Amino acid sequence: MPPHEASLTVPDKTLFNLAFLVVFAAEFAATGFVADRVLSLGKLDTASFPTRGGDEIASLAVSFNRIKTSLVEALRMLGA
Kindly report, residue by residue over 12-47, the tens digit of the pLDDT: 788 888 887 777 777 777 777 777 777 677 777 877
pLDDT score for 6: 58
3 has a pLDDT exceeding 60: no
pLDDT score for 16: 82
SS (H, E, C) 27-69: HHHHHHHHHHHHHHCCCCCCCCCCCCCCCHHHHHHHHHHHHHH
Residue 49's contacts (CB-CB under 8 Å, 6 or more residues apart) are 30, 31, 34, 35, 60, 61, 62, 64, 65, 68
pLDDT score for 11: 79
Distance CA(80)–CA(70), nearest Å, equals 14
